[in-house]
């Protein structure tokens, strides 16, 4: 199995995978999909496709400011979940952040999302919880 990360080209795939994976949380919390926000973020974020043997199976979306590198979105196709791709995407992101001189990696995740366990295993800690969302961060060495 050959895993690579490449610049995302297929905006529709990214949007559809994100919506499919996040829809239950949005419904539970009464959040509506905002196309304008997605379109703006597509232009503002670093968008990567997670590729296995030439097949796109996920997406990783990143950004940064002066203080931290941010994981804005990490989505893996349900058929490929629980196979270590999320862990590898987090290591890839930490490496990018460190190479760019950042010492802090941050993300937000819905409190009920099972990915919270992955993030904790990968060294993230909850810095606050608000409106059903954990704000998590990890210091980089």
- Per-residue pLDDT of 63-116, as tens digits, reads 999 999 999 999 999 999 999 999 999 999 999 999 999 999 999 999 999 999
At residue 90, what are phi and psi to the nearest 5 degrees?
Answer: -65, -40
pTM: 0.93
Cβ within 8 Å of residue 24, ≥6 positions away: none
Cα(84)–Cα(82) distance, rounded to whole angstroms? 6
3-class state of residue 35 by DSSP: helix
- Per-residue pLDDT of 17-63, as tens digits, reads 999 999 999 998 899 999 999 999 999 999 999 999 999 999 999 99
Q: Which domains does the chain have, with CATH numbers?
A: 3-139 (3.40.630.30)
């Amino acid at each position: 199995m050959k895993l690579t990360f490449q610049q995302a080209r297929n905006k529709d795939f990214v949007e559809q995978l994100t919506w499919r994976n996040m829809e239950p949380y949005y419904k539970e919390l009464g959040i509506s999909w905002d196309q304008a926000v997605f379109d703006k973020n597509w232009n503002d974020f670093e968008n990567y496709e997670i590729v296995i043997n030439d097949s796109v199976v996920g997406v990783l979306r990143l950004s940064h400011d002066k203080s931290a590198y941010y994981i804005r979105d990490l989505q893996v196709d349900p058929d490929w979940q629980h196979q270590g791709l999320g862990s590898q995407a987090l290591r890839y992101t930490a490496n990018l952040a460190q190479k760019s001189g950042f010492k802090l990696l941050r993300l937000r995740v819905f409190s009920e999302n099972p990915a919270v366990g992955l993030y904790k295993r990968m060294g993230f800690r909850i810095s606050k919880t608000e409106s059903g969302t954990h704000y998590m961060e990890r210091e980089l060495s």
